[in-house]
């Protein structure tokens, strides 16, 4: 008896195949296949094993005998989504599946090869719930005696350190031998080393994407992609010294990331775009994680975020803090600063329009530094349409365009015969309202129907060894000496490396204190009088109790003897 989605498979829940090994036929929906062609109404998609066998219309494509038939009437079929800037974490699997993201290219710099490969193998075997993973492992970056980014990254040892072109080649060879899928290159790596890494990667079919402050030089060195809005923004600043000052101010937290685009120079945009398009370099702007509170769709975004937080009760509390906190963060900006941020974001939208109009390959991605993994893909697609792209271009930004970056477009990114059967069904018409892509009702991953519900208490069998968000590795504390017998005292804690966040807390001699987040460079906590009863050495740390652990290095405070 054929399976009918509206009868045998509960919409929004998914189910395992009742008859493994039998063909699956998805019939009756409207198919947007990801190629850019007009949608196919009353579509029929035949899947055999992991591959798509046939695509067409009812009456044109026969239904194989003894097939499991899924009734997709009144649904829109799309290719499984691919996160254009994925950050793999141990809790993201069910979020991705729930939202129709079937592939996570893990291009972050925060996880090493062995953990991400274990996650990749576990999901491939069906032992870890989640999407397909294309892993880069540790990013390739400048050596520790050279200028490098983000003290937190350096302290965590999350970069593959290189200095010379030959060391860059060797780092790539090691990744190939480990069986990794791609390369991530960090900023400040000398361009001769970037070029060597890209050349060596191409020998093995490993494509490189990068952080950079000189997109043109990186493109000519052979990268396949660049990440973040600031990559093109910094490059636009013609005065190299002025550019470097803005970079330094960002890392020193003297300027917020949202405000940086105000200082970009649009007169340089066309030159940058020409180099990117000529060298076939794709770009992931990652604007949703930072700027979605400015979107006309902000309320819809926030409502969906709350819905997922309410369903997935097992998520680390910090996920809600990070996601919802971005709206509060933007509200706290003074009016003049918020005006600069809005004007800067208009420059980013201008670059997006020019880049795509010139033939640039844009990718919608999560980059969940200030938002929810997976959902940010949908939010970014919506913001790309608000910036001036067509809904079809936005759909391609989260499907075929990402597959192209990693050289995997022969197998992924569109619904066509011979390709891997990653297919989702959504309620609504994304060509009329792109936000309907998040209203996922069915997910087929490599030809297997997935359960897209949230578990009561899902736990990854191989949890991450590190917390999701960075904790400053070293801190500075003031005052350093407090007299014995003092009353309640406010201590100020500032990061010597990295930044602090609203969910971080100060611990005084192992006791968590009520902590006030001043800004990304300061926490304040009140130490009660009982802590000063006896003279001695006390230890202060910054901890993140609402995620998977982590602590800064301790800094001491002396409780001095009471003078008589």
Q: Which of 23, 103, 106 is nearest to 70 (CA)?
A: 23
Q: Is the dihedral of CA 70, 75, 76, 78 positive or negative?
A: negative
Chain position carrying tokens 């890209």 = 198
78: nearest Cα among 31, 39, 29, 45: 31
Residue 102 lies in a domain: no
β-sheet bridge partners, residue 55: 45
pLDDT of amino acid 11? 39
Residue 523, in any domain of the structure: yes
pLDDT given at position 21:
78
Same domain, 67 and 29: yes
320: left (phi over 0), alpha (psi -120 to 50) or beta: alpha
Q: Is 215 in the same domain as 355?
A: yes
Of 348, 372, 407, which marks where a domain is finished? 407
Domain total in the chain: 3
**Which of 407, 432, 463 lies at the terminal end of a domain, its last residue?**
407
Based on the fold, state whether residues 68 and 204 are members of the same structural domain: no
Give the C-alpha separation, 194 to 139, whole Å: 12
Q: Indicate whether 113 belongs to any domain.
A: no
In contact, 442 and 17? CB cutoff 8 Å: no
The pLDDT of residue 100 is 98
Q: Is residue 157 part of a domain?
A: yes
Give tens-digit pLDDT for 386-442: 999 999 999 999 999 999 999 999 999 999 999 999 999 999 999 999 999 999 999
Residue 150: both structure tokens together: 């983000």
Q: 374 Cβ partners below 8 Å, 6+ apart?
A: 83, 92, 95, 96, 98, 99, 101, 366
Q: What is the 3-state secondary structure (H, E, C) of 106-161?
A: ECCCCCCHHHHHHHHHHHHCCCCCCCEEEECCCEEEECCCCCCCCHHHHHHCCEEE
**Predicted structure pTM score:** 0.89
Question: What CATH number has the domain bearing residue 437?
Answer: 2.30.40.10
Which CATH number goes with the domain that contains 525? 2.60.40.10
Q: What is the pLDDT of residue 251?
A: 78
Residue 123 lies inside a defined structural domain of this protein: no
Alpha-carbon torsion, ordered 133, 137, 142, 148, to 10 deg: 70
Q: Residue 290 in contact with residue 336, Cβ under 8 Å?
A: no
CA gap 409, 360 in Å, rounded: 16
Q: Is there a single domain that holds both residue 374 and residue 423? A: no
Cα 563 to the chain's mean position, in Å? Answer: 55
Based on the fold, state whether residues 305 and 357 are members of the same structural domain. Answer: yes
Q: What is the CATH number of the domain that holds 337?
A: 3.20.20
On whether both 270 and 148 belong to a single domain, the answer is yes
Q: How many whole angstroms separate alpha carbon 95 and alpha carbon 101?
A: 8
pLDDT at 9: 41
Q: What is the pLDDT of residue 29?
A: 95
Helix (H/G/I), strand (E/B), else coil: 327: helix
User: Phi/psi of residue 49, each to 5°?
Assistant: 65, -130
- Inside any domain, residue 122: no
In the predicted model, residues of the chain with pLDDT beneath 50 are 1-14, 144-157
> Phi/psi of residue 287, each to 5°?
-80, -25
Is 490 a domain residue? yes
Whether residues 177 and 29 fall in one domain: no
Q: Do 169 and 187 fall into the same domain?
A: yes
- For 104, the token pair is 């996570």
Contact 238, 265 (CB under 8 A): yes
Q: Are residues 328 and 359 in the same domain?
A: yes
Q: Which domain holds residue 490?
A: 475-560
What pLDDT does 548 receive? 54
Asked if 431 and 482 sit in the same domain, the reply is no
Same domain, 373 and 446: no
Three-state DSSP state, 274: helix
d(CA 40, CA 509): 65
Statement to judge: residues 430 and 396 lie in one domain: no
Phi, psi of 31 (to 5 degrees): -100, 120
Percent with pLDDT over 90 in the chain: 76
272 within a domain of the structure (yes/no): yes
Q: CB neighbours of 512 closer than 8 A, spacing ≥ 6?
A: 505, 506, 543, 545
């Amino acid at each position: 008896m054929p399976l009918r989605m509206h009868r045998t498979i509960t919409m929004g829940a998914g189910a395992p195949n009742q008859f493994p090994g039998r063909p699956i036929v998805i019939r009756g929906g409207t198919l947007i296949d990801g190629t850019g062609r007009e949608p196919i109404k009353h579509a029929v998609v035949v899947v055999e094993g992991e591959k798509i066998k046939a695509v067409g219309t009812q009456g044109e494509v026969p239904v194989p005998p003894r097939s499991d038939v899924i009734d997709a009437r009144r649904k829109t079929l799309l290719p499984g989504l691919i996160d254009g800037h994925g950050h793999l974490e141990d809790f993201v699997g069910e979020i991705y599946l729930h939202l129709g993201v079937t592939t996570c290219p893990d291009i972050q710099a925060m996880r090493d090869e062995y953990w991400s490969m274990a996650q990749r193998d576990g999901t491939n075997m069906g032992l870890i719930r989640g999407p397909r993973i294309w892993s880069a492992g540790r990013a390739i970056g400048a050596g520790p005696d050279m200028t490098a980014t983000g003290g937190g990254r350096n302290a965590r040892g999350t970069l593959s350190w290189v200095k010379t072109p030959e060391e860059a080649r060797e780092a790539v060879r090691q990744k190939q031998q480990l069986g990794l899928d791609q390369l991530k290159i960090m900023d400040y790596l000398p361009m001769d080393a970037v070029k060597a890494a890209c050349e060596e990667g191409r020998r093995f079919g490993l494509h490189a994407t990068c952080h950079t402050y000189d997109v043109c030089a990186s493109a000519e060195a052979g990268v396949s992609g660049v990440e973040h809005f600031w990559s093109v923004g910094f490059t636009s600043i013609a005065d190299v010294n002025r550019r470097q000052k803005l970079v330094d101010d960002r890392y020193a937290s003297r300027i917020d990331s949202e405000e940086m685009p105000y200082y970009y120079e649009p007169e340089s945009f066309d030159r940058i775009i020409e180099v990117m398009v000529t060298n076939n370099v794709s770009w992931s702007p990652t604007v949703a994680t930072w700027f979605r509170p400015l979107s006309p769709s902000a309320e819809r975004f926030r409502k969906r975020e709350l819905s997922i937080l309410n369903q997935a009760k097992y998520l680390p509390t910090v996920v809600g803090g990070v996601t919802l906190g971005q709206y509060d963060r933007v509200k706290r900006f003074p009016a003049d600063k918020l005006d600069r941020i809005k004007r800067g974001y208009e420059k980013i939208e201008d670059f997006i329009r020019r880049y795509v109009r010139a033939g640039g390959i844009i990718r919608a991605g999560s980059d969940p530094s200030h938002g929810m993994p997976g959902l940010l893909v949908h939010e970014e697609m919506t913001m790309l349409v608000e910036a001036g792209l067509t809904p079809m271009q936005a759909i391609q930004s989260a499907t075929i365009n990402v597959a192209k970056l990693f050289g995997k477009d022969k197998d992924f990114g569109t619904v066509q015969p011979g390709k891997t059967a990653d297919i989702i069904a959504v309620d609504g018409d994304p060509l009329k309202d792109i936000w309907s892509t998040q209203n996922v009702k069915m997910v087929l991953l490599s030809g297997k129907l997935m359960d897209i519900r949230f578990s009561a208490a899902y736990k990854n069998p191989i949890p991450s060894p590190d917390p999701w968000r960075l904790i400053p590795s070293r801190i500075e504390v003031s005052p350093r000496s407090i007299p014995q017998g003092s009353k309640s005292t406010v201590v100020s804690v500032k990061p010597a490396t990295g930044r602090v966040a609203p969910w971080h807390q100060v611990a005084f001699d192992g006791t968590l204190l009520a902590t006030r987040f001043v800004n990304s460079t300061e926490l304040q906590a009140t130490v009660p009088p009982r802590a000063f009863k006896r003279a001695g050495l006390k230890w202060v740390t910054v901890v993140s109790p609402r995620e998977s652990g982590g602590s800064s290095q301790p800094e001491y405070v002396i409780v001095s003897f009471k003078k008589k």
